[in-house]
Amino acid sequence: MLLIKKTNKSVDQAGQALEAAAANQSFGVLAIHDLQATMAKKGVDFPNACRIYEVCNPHQAKKVLERNMEISTALPCRVSIYQGKDGGTEIATILPTMMIDLYGADDLKAVARDVEEKITAMI
């Protein structure tokens, strides 16, 4: 269900590389959530860096949403870059093909496969 890859890059370096790779795959980065910073603002000490990137290809999103608006609860796609248990950097995402199965949307599997291939290439 999850794709998780380790990288030798820092969280910042991996984030910059993901942003460039997203553009190369015709995806946009809609938002970046810095969980460590957000928690700090709320007075919560969280030691691990963790950034969640919301990525989207609007043409693919339109195909999905025109057929099933319920899938909007899973959009945009998220890619998380964080410090793993060993202190190294990991990049993870929920596989779109697995996510589409949760909605019973067999007619959208081809779109999910295409999006998954592109996100896998980004990672």
* 5, β-bridge pairs: 91
Judged by DSSP in three states, 50 sits in strand
Per-residue pLDDT of the chain (123 residues; tens, 9 = 90+): 999 999 999 999 999 999 999 999 999 999 999 999 999 999 999 999 999 999 999 999 999 999 999 999 999 999 999 999 899 999 999 999 999 999 998 999 999 999 999 999 999
pLDDT of residue 81: 98
Listed in order, strand segments (DSSP E) in the chain are: 2-7, 28-34, 50-56, 77-83, 89-94
What is the Rg, in whole angstroms, of the alpha carbon atoms belonging to the chain?
Answer: 15
**Residue of 109, 73, 115 lying closest to 93 (CA atoms):** 115
Contact 96, 116 (CB under 8 A): yes
Ordered by start, the domain boundaries in the chain are: 2-122
For residue 30, the model assigns a pLDDT of 97
> What was the pLDDT predicted at 55?
98
Coil, strand or helix: which one is 31? Answer: strand
Name 32's bridge partners.
53
Is the CATH number of domain 2-122 3.30.310.70?
yes
Instruction: Identify the pLDDT of residue 112.
Output: 96
- In sequence order, which residues have a C-beta less than 8 Å from that of residue 80 and are 6 or more positions away? 50, 51, 52, 53, 91, 92, 93
